[in-house]
Structure 1
Amino acid sequence: MAFFETVSKELLLTFTTAMVPVVELRGAIPLGIAAGLPPALACAAAILGNLVPAPLIILLARRMADFLRGTRFFGPRIDWLERRAHLKGRLVRKYRLLGLVILVGIPLPGTGAWTGSLVAAVLNIRMRHALPAILLGLIMAGLITTALTLGIVHLL
């Protein structure tokens, strides 16, 4: 019974950490493995946790941006975010859904499900097309991150 209690706490920690912007699954997978989760379980929990915010971002990003653009404080910040999303979106515009998979799937700073969801919202990519591409990218990033984490742990 103690095994399941420990695993469920570590699983929840990994899942929720993956929802956090910037950290996403790139930080959640090493955390889960370091906490004692089996690598496959840490990877799966991080992928699912990182996917949770994506539909909300796609649905609400455009509406929130339009609303906040009218304020003095947020207006310039929204413009900056949109410019950044358009810059990140060049790859996506060129290759469409494959570009979105690559944007999410390469585990580098400034990429991931949050960025991919924002780019999908800015480029008006429909949810039914964006979510499968984001999921494929997350699987790709999850496998890469897990392999790198295990390689680093093995070297230590």
Structure 2
Amino acid sequence: MFEKTAMVIVANTLPSLEQIGGIPLGIVLGLDPVYTLLVSLMVNCFLFFPVFFGLKLFYKRLLSRIRLFNKYIERVRRIGKPYIDKYGIIGLALFISLPTPLTGTYTASILSWFLDLDWKKSFIAIAIGSTIGGIIILLSSVGFLNILKLFLNN
């Protein structure tokens, strides 16, 4: 079970896969679907911290010294502010809940940092969005595998 769980964890940490790859992998490997979902959620929620705070540190120590990059960041934040004011954290949660490539924890964490959102609110939005997206992926995976079994058994 440890090896299978480790495989699910690794799949969830890959930016191109995250939950979209981790949850179906766990189910195919024979892990309990709810257990797989919980492992996936823990990994995705944990990923927020190194990405968000790593970017903050990288910007503070290196990128903030580049004038052109500072202007670019300020421009993006200024352009994004009306959308953040309108949709806010709910928009971020909805964004991450879409189970499509490039709408996972990595992208949401980068967006949160880029738009200078409060880290606590961003984390909550990412946790909520990951939960919704994870449930969608879980139900889709279980349903697809059951339909596949139905056709293969006949």
TM-score range, shorter chain: 0.7 to 0.9
> 2:93 corresponds to which residue?
101
Write the distance in 1 (CA, Å) between the matches of 2:79 and 2:99: 18
1:45-92: CA deviation from partner (whole Å, max 9, x where unpaired): 111112222111111214425625879xxx99xx7xx97x99999865
- Say whether residues 1:52 and 2:78 are aligned partners: no
Higher relative contact order (CA 8 A, sep 6+): 2
Unaligned runs of 5+ in 1: 1-6
Alignment of 1:29 with 2:16, yes or no, is: no
2:102 is aligned to 110
Work out the CA distance in 2 between the residues paired with 1:110 and 1:90: 23
Tell me which structure has the larger Cα radius of gyration: 2
Q: Secondary structure at the match of 1:96?
A: helix
Cα 1:135–1:90, aligned 2, differ >3 Å: closer, same or farther?
Answer: farther
Aligned pairs for 1:71-110 within 5 A: 92=84, 94-110=86-102
**Structure 2 residue aligned with 1:12, among 3, 6, 16?**
6
TM-score normalised by the chain length of structure 2: 0.79
Query: Which has the larger displacement, 134-143 or 88-97?
Result: 88-97
TM-score in terms of structure 1 length: 0.78
Determine which structure has the larger helix proportion and give its number: 2
**Matched-pair identity in %:** 22
Q: Secondary structure at the match of 2:117?
A: coil
Q: Does the 8 A contact of 1:29 with 1:42 survive in 2?
A: yes
Please tell me whether the aligned partners of residues 105 and 141 of structure 1 are also in contact (alpha carbons under 8 angstroms). yes
Tell me: CA distance 1:87–1:16, structure 2 relative to 1, closer, same or farther (3 Å). farther
Q: Distance in 2 between matches of 1:86 and 1:62?
A: 18
Write the distance in 2 (CA, Å) between the matches of 1:109 and 1:23: 7
Find the aligned partners of 1:108 and 1:89 in 2 and give their Cα distance: 25
CA distance 1:111–1:87, shift in 2 (3 Å): farther
**Unmatched 5+ residue regions in structure 2?**
149-154
Task: Work out the number of aligned pairs and report it.
Answer: 142
The answer to whether the 8 A contact 1:30-1:146 is kept is yes
Q: Quote how far apart the aligned CAs of 1:34 are.
A: 0.5
Between the aligned partners of 1:148 and 1:12, the Cα distance in structure 2 is 22
Contact 1:103-1:111 at 8 Å conserved across structures: yes
SS at match of 1:102: helix
Match of 1:138 among 106, 124, 130: 130
* Distance in structure 1 (CA, Å) of the matches to 2:101 and 2:78: 17
